[in-house]
Amino acid sequence: ALYKYRYALKAPSQDKAPAMVTGGIVHGTLEMLHTAVMRKQPLPTLKQLQEFAQDCLSAAASDGTHFAFKQGEDMAKLREDANRLIQAYWESGIWDCDIVDAEKCFSLPIPGSDIALIGAIDLIVKLPDGTIELRELKTAARSFDATRLLYDPQMSIYYAALKAMGYPNQKMAFC
């Protein structure tokens, strides 16, 4: 419903979907880790990453944002979810690789129109064989099933964006 009112009907909304806020904060937190890996800088610790995410959630809660909590959701659950997601990603080691770029913005013009598709690719890595892999980090409670993978346009758009950026050989992965 929030999507319909905010994007389809262009109605202003003070309410924020808690999962969207948490997802955005987790992505921003992981971007810190990816940037440190990419620049070969000292890595933040798991505790530092989790503290950063908690600080961001506190800032969101105190800036007047109204969270549209569902039954059973509250700020404590959002904090727990953020910590759990960051810890799972940290422990997976997916980030320990040759990172080419993180949160890479793109704009793809649609031929014959004044419209462009815009977005940001979560992670672009170079595999040992030289293949470029696009990694889409998912924070949603539901994972992508085979049907969604087949019909969801997101990865096709990202694939086209990578191609437009000049990456000839590429793979895609959901993490």
pLDDT for residue 1? 47
Give mean pLDDT, residues 121-146.
81
Question: Rounded to the nearest 5 degrees, what angle is found at the Cα of 19, between the Cα atoms of 13 and 24?
Answer: 85
What are the residues whose beta carbons fall under 8 Å from the beta carbon of 23, sequence distance 6 or more?
139, 140
At 71-115, the pLDDT tens digits run 888 889 989 999 999 999 999 998 889 999 999 999 999 999 999
What are the residues whose beta carbons fall under 8 Å from the beta carbon of 155, sequence distance 6 or more?
134, 136, 149, 172
137/53 Cα distance (integer angstroms): 16
pLDDT for residue 89? 93
Most confident of the following: 2-16, 58-72, 120-134 = 120-134
46/107 Cα distance (integer angstroms): 33
59/63 Cα distance (integer angstroms): 6
Say whether pLDDT at 167 is over 70.
yes
Q: Which residue has the higher pLDDT, 172 or 63?
A: 63
At 48-71, the pLDDT tens digits run 999 999 999 998 888 777 788 888
pTM here? 0.79
What end-to-end distance do the CA atoms of the chain give, in Å? 27
Q: Is the dihedral of CA 24, 26, 28, 34 positive or negative?
A: negative
pLDDT for residue 31? 93
What are the residues whose beta carbons fall under 8 Å from the beta carbon of 150, sequence distance 6 or more?
none
**Strand residues in the chain grouped as ranges (E):** 15-16, 66-67, 98-109, 116-126, 132-136, 170-174
